[in-house]
Each structure stands twice: as structure tokens, then as C-alpha cells.
Amino acid sequence: MKVLVPVKRVVDANVKVRVKGDGSGVELANVKMAMNPFDEIAVEEAIRLKDAGKVEEIIVVSIGPAQAQETLRTALAMGADRAILVKTDETAEPLGVAKVLKGVVDAEKPGLVILGKQAIDDDANQTGQMLAALLGWAQGTFASKVEINGDKAKVTREVDGGLQTIDLKMPAIVTVDLRLNQPRYASLPNIMKAKKKPLDEKSAADFGADLKPRLKVVKTEEPGGRKAGVKVKDVAELVSSLKSAGVI
Amino acid sequence: MQFGLSEEQRLIVDTTRAFVENELYPHEAEVERTGVLRPELIAEIKAKAIAAGLYAANMPADVGGAGLDTVTWLLYEKELGRASYALHWNCVARPSNILLAGTPEQRERYLFPCIRGEKSDCLAMTEPNAGSDLRSMQASAVQDGDDWVLNGTKHFISHADMADFVITFMASGEEDTPRGKRKKITAFFVDKGTPGFSVRDGYQNVSHRGYTNSVLEFDDCRLPKQQVLGEVHKGFEVANAWLGATRLQVAATCLGRAERAFGHAVSYAAERKQFGQQIGKFQGVSFKLADMATEMKAANLLVFEAGWKYDQGTVTDEDMAMAKLKATEMLAFVADEAIQIYGGMGLMNDLPLERIWRDARVERIWEGTSEIQRHIISRALLRAVGG
Ligand SMILES: Cc1cc2nc3c(=O)[nH]c(=O)nc-3n(C[C@H](O)[C@H](O)[C@H](O)COP(=O)(O)OP(=O)(O)OC[C@H]3O[C@@H](n4cnc5c(N)ncnc54)[C@H](O)[C@@H]3O)c2cc1C
């Protein structure tokens, strides 16, 4: 079985994000970029499935600017086998991305697509679900455990109030949550090998899709600063102030 | 010459940085507080470093290392250098290059186990009466039939308490030269447990807590001739051939630590308010940042240029001396200014700054003092004009 793992290049989680002067978005010039942390977890899960003999080939795909090649190389250095860069200078929006991914799935015929549950840039949390709808495949979102048995995937999902376990008929879509695994370091020997792994450059049109923006960004602004809190001397005062604040 | 990083170099920097931040930083406070690096902690981090291919990555690929070129190796050293020395040196060891000079049997016995993380090495040259002037060493090796008998004392020997063996340099005779008599030096492998060889605790050191130093005593320590490293009487030749780049290693680790201190200082300058504004808005503070950044850049350029020339085979002793001199003095300056920008908080051990400041001190002393580096640089300048 082939597994497809989409990976996104986003602002590094440790960077303090700043809004651009004109409010059109966040500042990306000279900012450290990295693989979306949820996508690292997705790549790691694919590698573990391969190590367990459930998967033969791991294909990583990124939709983004030329520099997204760096993100793909990181995935190859972690252990993916082959990469596809769908190059675009448009902002990648969930539906456009899902349409391109559908094209990639039609071309590559993976038995499983593992995605991050969301990208930490706009936190949309939509791509996996949209892809499942476009393909008409089963989906297991927010996975904290994945087991593959023949043509079934058993996925433990982190849902409000606890865990839910579902069986999916393959082929299927899985989106991963934070606690699924701890991604490995790209090891030095694998970094050296990654250079020789294939990385194909394609366009959205090659997959019969387009990435024209479907959304319009009206304005981007910083969240308001936190107001200073108050100190309470005991539980009774805490409860009464929560009541008067209308919280309880 | 090009200044950008290749894709591969960038990945190596990223992976090393992530390892240092996730696996080493969390243990720094413990090592600082206790002054001890627990063996279980070493074992735990070492296993992760081996899995990530970071352990002994300085070694060539054909002996099981990462096979990095000099520039890439220095990038890796720079990232490791961000963390506590005790942690990165003992848990992500870089065995001495001089082990590559061994015979096939010596490689089996010493080199490969060090690369696999099963043994660790240490290197002994310095003596109480022979520091910068190493050639004046008094510890001696005398031939007796097929054996050598070693006598004398070495001190300041890093991590000798943890090492499984030492590579020690001993005076093995004297020769006449046009400039008078000169000692001949031979290098030996000495295993822990060899009769007549003992290791005592060294001194408490202001820099690099948890990174121990020891005193080594040789008292009629008898070794078979197979323990000689390189040729008899050619100890310094072996050292010069294989240890040349260790000065660049020291320099590179300083670059990483300076960058870490600077990162703290620049964010604090943008955060801390006094007199109703960010302290970074005061020129007295912002100009410090400008000078720190400029010094750091200059040191980076010197270190990586020397590394690049090392790979081209055109590096000179002066190039490496300049890189070591600049990087170590830059670190002292940057660490000091970073503390100044923090004010009192900079001296408290909540932040790594007071440690970086203390740790910076030894860098201008070991691997050749700043004066010795200046001596190397100026000697070359004068020789060129017949001086
Ligand atoms: C923590 C630590 C760990 C160490 N680890 C090791 C180790 O693992 N193995 C090892 O072999 N050694 C080790 N050393 C020794 C280190 O390399 C020496 O300390 C260093 O070479 C300087 O020698 P010294 O301390 O004897 O100083 P000295 O050589 O006595 O120097 C004293 C002063 O005189 C100056 N001076 C000396 N000669 C000249 C000159 N020609 N021109 C101008 N000024 C001069 C020096 O610059 C210095 O300022 C370690 C040292 C320390 C502090």
C-alpha cells in the first residue's frame, strides 16, 4: 500500500508572529519557516506504518512556493520515499488544496492519506475533511491512535469529552492530533540520503485543479492584549467574583 | 566562495538545533545546580543522539561517522555549543580525530568503540609545569626492552574520570637542533586500570559545571610497544596532523552560545520598559545590540572562512588562530553585554546568561590561550617580512 502525506510550510511555532503594516496578512519576510507540527506527526505515523510492514511507499506532497521544497526535504530526511511539490505562489486555501490533493490521489492511488488535523498558520482544520468529501472516502479525524488491519483502519479519535474509536473502510483519510506520536529527528545519515530521493515539481493544472483564491481576506489584526487580572483571597471570593462576572 | 547554506546543511542545523533544545536544554539547570552529570542521564541522551546520527558525527563516513565536510561539521558544533558543555560533550561526544591515526588494531580497540558510544577518550598534554610551553613537559617515557615505562603527572585533563582510556603525550628523549636541545615527544594509549596509572579528581572550575577535569599520575606505568600512537618520538607530528581543527571546534561552539545569549538580550530589550519606554529605544542599549551583532557576524565569518579553507587545503595556522581568538573574545563580550542589558536579572540563574558568562572565561584559555593565538598570528606576519 502507498500512503500519501501532505505537508505544509508554515511559520515556525517558536516565532512570534507579527501582522504586516497594511493588515493584509502576517509578516513572512525573513521569518523562520518549518514543517507544520501536525504534519510532522503525520509523516512519523506513516514511517511507523512502513516500519511495521503495513506500508510500502510514503509519498509526501506540498502545495506552496518553491521554498516548500525544504519542507519536503525534511520529510524525506525523516524517512519518506518520494516527494511532489505542487508549486504555486497563490495562498493555499483548504478547498483549493483539497482539490489538488484529490488530483494527486487519483494519479498515485494511495490506500491511505494521513494529514495534520490543521496547519498552525490559519488553523482552518478543513483540508482533510474536504478531501474525504471530494473522494467519497471514509475519514477518521483527530487521531490519537491508528491501527491498520487488512482493509480496515481502526482510529481512536480525540473528541470533546473523551476518546472515540471508529473502524474505517480503506482507502481512508486520517487527520492526526498532537498525542498520536512523538516525531523522530531527521537523522544525519538520512539527511545525506534525502538528497538522492526523487522530488517532482508539478503545477495544480497537472492535477486538473486550480488554486485561485476562493476566500477574501478582509483584515488581519493582532488579538487584543490581555487585561490584568485580580487577586482573590479565598475560594468564597473567587466564586462570588466569578458569579458577578457572569461566568458561573 | 559562497555564503549560503545548502539544503543538506540547513537540515543538519535544524535537526541539531532541535535536538539541543529538546534533549539538552531541559537538563541544564540540574547539571548547573548539582555540578554532576548523572550516568543514567548520559546513557539516556546518548541513546537518542546515536539514533539521530548526531553522536560522533565529526568522524568520516567510512568509520561510522557522518562524513561531514569541515564547514558542515562546524555548523553542527555551533548548534551543540548552544547548550551546557558538560551535556553536549558527554552525551553527544565527538571522539578525538587523533584516534584516526591509530593502527588497525588500535582502531578496533579505541576508535570504533568510541564512535559506537561504548567507550570514551581523553587527551593529556598539560602538566603543572608545562601549559602553553608543552614541549617543556616533564612526564617521561623510557624504553625498556619491548616495553615503555611512563612516569609523571598531567593535570587539567578533561573528563578523564569518565574516559576508558587516555591518549597521553610523554617526553621520550632529547635531540639537538640549531636552536639548542629539544625534547622528543611520543604519544601513548593508556587504558584505565593499567598498573601504575591513576586518575584523581581535579579542581573545581568556574566554567562548565559538570565538565570535570582530573589529575593523572603515571608511576612506573609499563606499556607494551603496541600502545604507541603514531611513530616513536613523533607525538607532536601526530597531534599537529590530526588536532589542527580542534581550535575551530572551540570557536564554533562559542558562536552558538553567543547567539543564544544575544537572542535573550535582543528580546529583553524589546520587552523591558523603564522610564515609560522599551529599554531598546535608549541608544545606550540599542548600540550595544548593534555592536554585539556585528562582533558575532565577524566571528562567524572568520570561523567559517577558516573551515572552508580547511576543506580546500589552503588553511593556515594563522587563519585558525584568528578564528579561535575572535570567537572566544567575542563570546566574552556578548555574554557580558547581554547581562548588562538585563541588569540584575541577568545575574540570576533563572536565565542561562550568568552561566554563559562564566563558561565564556575558559574559552580564552584552553586550546591555546588568546596570547598564544596572537603569537601565532604575529609570528606569521613578521616571518613574511624576514622577522
Ligand atoms: C577546564 C580546563 C580543561 C582542560 N582540559 C585539558 C585537556 O583535556 N587536556 C590537556 O592536555 N589540557 C587541558 N587543559 C589545559 C589547557 O590547554 C591549558 O590551561 C592552556 O594550554 C594554558 O596553559 P596553562 O594553564 O598552564 O597556562 P600558562 O601556559 O602557564 O600561561 C599563563 C599565562 O601566560 C601566558 N603566556 C604563556 N606563554 C606565553 C607566550 N609565549 N607569550 C605570551 N603569553 C604567554 C598565557 O597566555 C597565560 O596568560 C585544560 C584547561 C582547563 C582550564
**Residues having CB within 6 Å of any atom of ligand 1:** B 122-126, 131-132, 156-158, 205, 213, 362, 365-366, 369, 371-372, 375
The answer to whether the complex's ipTM is over 0.95 is: no
Shared domain for B347 and B229, answered yes or no, is no
Tell me if chain A has a CB within 8 Å of the CB of B18.
yes
Do residue B52 and residue A189 have CB atoms under 8 angstroms apart? no
- pLDDT of B1 > 70? The answer is no
Shared domain for B273 and B376, answered yes or no, is yes
Please check whether residue B104 lies inside any domain of the structure: no
Q: What is the CATH number of the domain that holds B194?
A: 2.40.110.10
Please check whether residue B292 lies inside any domain of the structure: yes
Phi, psi torsion values for B2, nearest 5 degrees: -125, 150
Shared domain for B145 and B198, answered yes or no, is yes
Tens digit of each residue's pLDDT (9 = 90 or more) over B171-192: 999 999 999 999 999 999 999 9
Structural domain for B275, as ranges: 243-383
B169 neighbors B187 (Cβ within 8 angstroms): yes
Domain count, chain B: 3
Domains along chain A with CATH numbers: 2-244 (3.40.50.620)
Do residue B51 and residue A190 have CB atoms under 8 angstroms apart? no
Q: Would you state the cell numbers that stand for residue B252, as one nine-digit string?
A: 564554533
Shared domain for B15 and B60, answered yes or no, is yes
- pLDDT of A118 > 80? The answer is yes
Tens digit of each residue's pLDDT (9 = 90 or more) over B25-64: 999 999 999 999 999 999 999 999 999 999 999 999 999 9
Candidate from B366, B374, B377 with most ligand 1 atoms within 8 A of CB, to mutate: B366
Last residue of a domain, which of B81, B96, B111? B96
Please check whether residue B298 lies inside any domain of the structure: yes
Sign of CA dihedral A17, A18, A23, A24: negative
Q: What is the CATH number of the domain that holds B39?
A: 1.10.540.10
- pLDDT of A129 > 90? The answer is yes
Which band of pLDDT confidence, cut at 50, 70 and 90, is reported for residue A227?
confident
pLDDT value at residue B147: 98
Tens digit of each residue's pLDDT (9 = 90 or more) over B70-106: 999 999 999 999 999 999 999 999 999 999 999 999 9
pLDDT value at residue A224: 84
Secondary structure (H, E, C), chain B: CCCCCCHHHHHHHHHHHHHHHHHHHHHHHHHHHHCCCCHHHHHHHHHHHHHCCCCCCCCCHHHCCCCCCHHHHHHHHHHHCCCCHHHHHHHCCCCCHHHHHCCHHHHHHHHHHHHCCCCCEEEECCECCECCCHHHCCCEEEEECCEEEEEEEEEEEECCCCCCEEEEEEEEEEEEECCEEEEEEEEEEEECCCCCEEEEECCCCCCCCCCCEEEEEEEEEEEEHHHEECCCCEHHHHHHHHHCCHHHHHHHHHHHHHHHHHHHHHHHHHHCEECCEEHHHCHHHHHHHHHHHHHHHHHHHHHHHHHHHHHHCCCCHHHHHHHHHHHHHHHHHHHHHHHHHHHHHHHCCCCCHHHHHHHHHHHCCCCCCHHHHHHHHHHHHHHCCCC
The fraction of chain B above a pLDDT of 70, given in percent, is 100
Which of A70, A74, A189 is the closest to B53 by Cβ? A189
Catalytic residues of B: 367
Q: Would you state the cell numbers that stand for residue A26, as one nine-digit string?
A: 502576517
Tens digit of each residue's pLDDT (9 = 90 or more) over A30-48: 999 999 999 999 999 999 9
Shared domain for B197 and B211, answered yes or no, is yes
Task: Name B151's bridge partners.
Answer: B140
Three-state secondary-structure class, residue A212: coil
Shared domain for B253 and B308, answered yes or no, is yes
Please check whether residue B214 lies inside any domain of the structure: yes
Distance to chain B for A246, nearest Cα, Å: 34
Please check whether residue B101 lies inside any domain of the structure: no
Do residue A185 and residue B51 have CB atoms under 8 angstroms apart? yes
How does the average pLDDT of chain B come out, rounded? Answer: 97
